[in-house]
Structure 1
Amino acid sequence: MARRKIVVALGGNAIQSVNATAQAQQEALEKTAEQLVKIIENDVDIVIVHGNGPQVGNILLQQKVAESEKTPAMPLDTCGAMSQGMIGYWMGNAIAKVLRKRNINKDVATIVTRVIVDEKDEAFNNPTKPIGPFYTEDEARKVMKESKVVFKEDAGRGWRRVVPSPAPVSILEYKVIDSLVKDGNIVIAVGGGGIPIIHSHEGLTGTEAVIDKDFAAQKLAELVGADTLVILTAVDFVYVNFNKPNQKRLELVTSDELEGYIKGQHFAAGSMLPKIEAAIHFVNTNPERKAIITSLEKVYEALEGKTGTVISKQEGSVHV
């Protein structure tokens, strides 16, 4: 049986919840690694994409607090690179620890990844991507009065800073990533959606934005020819009418059905919607592909077809 190639997108909030200390985040990643290594044991080649919303937001805050003539604050793209290295380092250590415990002979590598975006993308005129910690409305409005930073309400959870979120056009390191995976390595890449890069007269230049990690994972999955895109979130299934008396969970669903639910405004823009849209884009590129949306705790069972929301291009076009 041929080995499956899977891209797994893991949210930044799964690494940091309330406690932002390095120790707490590393402990959270050890629990994450336990779940991921379960699937690595079963003839699966894997690329792990992680979010960085809380982490890059905190790095930006630290940069601002420490800013002076001698220690100028770094721009957003550079802070994104910092978060890639930091989280990739922690995650690599956590996975290696579990591999040793289970006597699995595999190497794990983190690739600091640059992602090409279009400088004319409309997203630059309409910042929407939430990053950093949550604020009350009063706190957010106070910061907006004192600076050019934009805050928006985030899916009923509070107010967060929002930045441009352009679509990924291509991934500069995808051939390197694919080569490492084909050689049997576990690869951590496109952290936080990747470092947004534009083509300019000076060459490749970083830009102030954050690419949605689910769309970046989808683009990477396409470029490396993955069979399955797995998007991990806080719930085991995607729901329509979420948290209402007529709530309904989706198990096997087509991309056309999801398009209908999007038109019915069933998914929050800052939460589930980008995951749904990334899944639709991925399966529509090839009818043999599937996408799965589930929780980290259920990822192994979801890949065995026992739980989770499975998205395909056509009903019955893929087998779980």
Structure 2
Amino acid sequence: MLVVAALGGNALLRRGEPLTADAQRANIKVAAQSLADIVRAGHRLVITHGNGPQVGLLALQGAAYKPDEAYPLDVLGAETEGMIGYIIEQELENALGHDRPVATLLTQVLVDKDDPAFNAPTKFVGPVYDKEEAETRADAAGWQIAQDGDKWRRVVPSPKPLDIPDMRVIQLLLDQNVVLICAGGGGIPVLRRDDGSMIGVEAVIDKDAVSALLAQKLGANALLLLTDVDAIYRDFGKETAEPIHTLTIAEADTLDLPAGSMGPKLAAAGHFAESGGISGIGKLEDALAILQHTAGTSVVR
């Protein structure tokens, strides 16, 4: 099977953990062992990943420069693709005993300049703050902020992915049996000009939406959306909460899930399932078990 596995940003950097290289490497090492199980089971593998905490941190670091010297979000997104991809690549090579090629590809993703998301930012990036500190930082930096659980974070535009211009390169690498890490952080958001050339734009695309698009374009057999929660729950957060093991697309549409948590994952899973593939949502450590339908939540047509 060809499997696209999307690693959630919170699975790579747990909520409340410091944004340090050591903390991220420790989590990625755990992720690599789980992903290696998929490869050792005989499946071909493409890996995507989130970058919300990391791209927000780079933006904060950029605030130390003069406003006209700070790098835009598309460039910061490319930096996080390289940074996170490097650690995933290295730890996965170690987990596989260096017996097959692993590569990271910086990936451009096409969006529409008229996408309404540019006027209504929803994508969380960077660290969490209490409300007072978030408001102070927002006033100073011109951010927009929103509540994330019991904390507050910066939000940025998250336009819909339309196409992946680098598909030819991705396919070439897969044809050579490379374990590929691509479209990290939702890919690098780009616009196509009237003359056909492309240029980056200030945004962070939803990683799950891009992963579903990528899986569909590749004709993948399965899409795994891996996070730090073991399944989708009915009545999450209540005493009556219970995990849902299988959902049809129609049933998924009736669930009321927060836009900043499982909502995008379920939407992406449903989108891919419509094409006839297998979609699974669950804990990163359970990746192979989710693929085998013995853990997590399966979304089916």
Counterpart residue type for residue 181 of structure 1:
L
The match for 1:242 is 236
User: 2:130 & 2:46 partners in 1: Cα distance?
Assistant: 36
Correspondent of 2:126 among 116, 132, 136: 132
The match for 1:110 is 104
The match for 1:310 is 298
Counterpart residue type for residue 273 of structure 2:
V
Counterpart residue type for residue 118 of structure 2:
F
SS of match in other structure, 1:260: coil
User: 1:196 & 1:152 partners in 2: Cα distance?
Assistant: 22
Counterpart residue type for residue 275 of structure 1:
K
Q: Deviations over 1:77-111 (max 9, x none)?
A: 100000001111111111111111xxx62100000
Correspondent of 2:263 among 270, 273, 276: 273
Q: Deviations over 1:281-306 (max 9, x none)?
A: 1111x23x110001011112121221
User: 1:300 & 1:158 partners in 2: Cα distance?
Assistant: 33
Alpha-carbon offset, residue 157 of structure 1? 3.7
User: 1:88 & 1:14 partners in 2: Cα distance?
Assistant: 15
User: 1:273 & 1:210 partners in 2: Cα distance?
Assistant: 17
Q: Deviations over 1:220-241 (max 9, x none)?
A: 0011110111001121111121
Q: Deviations over 1:141-166 (max 9, x none)?
A: 11222232100001x24101000000
Question: What does 1:26-105 align with in structure 2 at a 5 Å threshold?
Answer: 26-65=25-64, 67-68=65-66, 72-100=69-97, 105=99
User: 2:253 & 2:182 partners in 1: Cα distance?
Assistant: 29
The match for 1:318 is none
| Structure 1 stretches of at least 4 aligned residues deviating more than 3 Å after TM superposition | none
Q: Percent identity over the alignment?
A: 39
| 8 Å contact kept, 1:232–1:294 | yes
For structure 1, the residue ranges without an aligned partner over 5 or more in a row are 314-320
Alpha-carbon offset, residue 308 of structure 1? 1.2
Question: What does 1:207-222 align with in structure 2 at a 5 Å threshold?
Answer: 207-222=201-216
SS of match in other structure, 1:187: strand
* Aligned Cα root-mean-square deviation (Å): 1.4
User: 2:3 & 2:263 partners in 1: Cα distance?
Assistant: 21
SS of match in other structure, 1:40: helix
The match for 1:183 is 176
Q: Deviations over 1:218-266 (max 9, x none)?
A: 01001111011100112111112101122132111100110112xxx2x
What is the TM-score when the length of structure 1 is the normalising length?
A: 0.90
Question: In structure 2, do the counterparts of structure 1 residues 157 and 300 end up closer, same or farther at CA, with 3 Å as the change threshold?
Answer: farther
The match for 1:293 is 281
User: 1:178 & 1:312 partners in 2: Cα distance?
Assistant: 26
SS of match in other structure, 1:278: helix
Counterpart residue type for residue 36 of structure 1:
L
Q: How many residue pairs end up in the alignment?
A: 298
User: 2:27 & 2:138 partners in 1: Cα distance?
Assistant: 32
Q: Deviations over 1:180-210 (max 9, x none)?
A: 1232110000000000001124620100000
| 8 Å contact kept, 2:147–2:153 | yes
Counterpart residue type for residue 164 of structure 1:
P
What is the TM-score when the length of structure 2 is the normalising length?
A: 0.95
Correspondent of 2:137 among 143, 148, 168: 143
Alpha-carbon offset, residue 49 of structure 1? 0.2
| 8 Å contact kept, 2:222–2:291 | no
Counterpart residue type for residue 189 of structure 2:
P
- Indicate whether 1:21 and 2:27 are aligned: no
| 8 Å contact kept, 1:26–1:90 | yes
SS of match in other structure, 2:69: coil
Question: Comparing 189-198 with 90-99, which one deviates more in the overlay?
Answer: 90-99
